[in-house]
Amino acid sequence: MSTCNFTPFGGGQRLCPGLDLDRLEASIFLHHFVSQFRWQAEEDTIVNFPTIIMKKRMSVMVRRVES
């Protein structure tokens, strides 16, 4: 029985050998991104019809923190 779920690193007996390395790389990247950069969202308005979207696509300014 298939549940059609996507599992990028496999599971069970076929677990990807690079799973722990990928988790380490992702956590290092997030640490540097959060600690060395600041971001600020621009003012935007919500459009409610036909779907809920942001008018300017929710632009974000990302700047490196000065040491």
pLDDT (tens digit, 9 = 90+) per residue, 10-65? Answer: 666 677 788 889 899 999 999 999 899 998 888 888 888 888 888 877 788 889 98
Burial class (CB in 10 A: 0-12, 13-18, 19+), 49: exposed
| pLDDT score for 42 | 82
Give the span between the Cα atoms of 12 and 57, in whole angstroms: 40
| pLDDT score for 24 | 94
Q: 1 pLDDT exceeds 60? A: no
| pLDDT score for 6 | 67
| pLDDT score for 2 | 60
Residue 56: which residues within 8 A CB-CB, separation 6 or more? 42, 44, 45
Nearest by Cα to 35 from 23, 27, 43: 27
| pLDDT score for 9 | 65
